[in-house]
């Protein structure tokens, strides 16, 4: 009986942890070159726990929490606003720099998270 309980527990653990990837809890992937990046967020809602970035039909779930911003929005929604309002790559990177500077100053993100976001912005294919 003890062996059956152990086998069942292992099976249940595998099922639970393999299901995590299906609900967007996978670890960030970092196996792409900088030329592959196209920053497009999943949606303009604040439903995701982490900032999600799509590029070349792939989805990366980052380890950056989708924190609420001082104006009641969230990080993902603000990035999407930058995407929609920017007419060219320079405007997008500038918008992202202003956002990340204000978030870091307010203590919403760390310096490391600011750097990660700015790398994505700089390497994106935003026209």
Residues 66 and 64: their CA atoms lie apart, in Å, by 6
Half-sphere exposure (CA, 13 Å, Cβ side) for 127? 3
pTM over 0.85: no
For the stretch 5-17, pLDDT in tens is 455 454 444 434 3
Q: With bands split at pLDDT 50, 70 and 90, how would you rate the model's confidence at 54? A: low
Q: Given this model, what pLDDT does residue 3 score?
A: 55
Instruction: Give yes or no for residue 62 having a pLDDT over 60.
Output: yes
3-state secondary structure string across the chain = CHHHHHHHHHHHHHHHHHHHHHHCCCCCCCCCCHHHCCCECCCCCCCCCEEEEEECCEEEEEEEECCECCCCCEHHHHHHHHHHHCCCHHHHHHHHHHHHHHHHHCCCCCHHHHHHHHHHHHHCCCC
Q: With bands split at pLDDT 50, 70 and 90, how would you rate the model's confidence at 37? A: very low
Phi, psi (rounded to 5 degrees) for 98: -65, -45
Instruction: Give yes or no for residue 21 having a pLDDT over 70.
Output: no
For the stretch 74-117, pLDDT in tens is 988 888 888 888 889 899 899 999 999 999 999 999 999 999 88
């Amino acid at each position: 009986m003890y062996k059956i309980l152990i086998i069942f527990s292992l099976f249940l653990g595998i099922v639970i942890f393999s299901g995590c990837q299906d609900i967007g809890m996978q670890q960030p992937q970092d196996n792409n070159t900088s030329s592959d990046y196209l920053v497009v967020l999943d949606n303009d809602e604040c439903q995701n726990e982490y900032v999600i970035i799509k590029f070349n039909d792939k989805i990366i779930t980052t380890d950056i929490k989708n924190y609420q911003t001082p104006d009641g929005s969230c990080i993902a929604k603000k990035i999407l606003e930058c995407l929609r309002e920017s007419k060219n790559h320079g405007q997008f990177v500038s918008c992202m720099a202003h956002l990340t500077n204000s978030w870091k100053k307010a203590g919403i993100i760390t310096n490391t998270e600011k750097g990660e976001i700015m790398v994505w912005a700089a390497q994106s294919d935003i026209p």
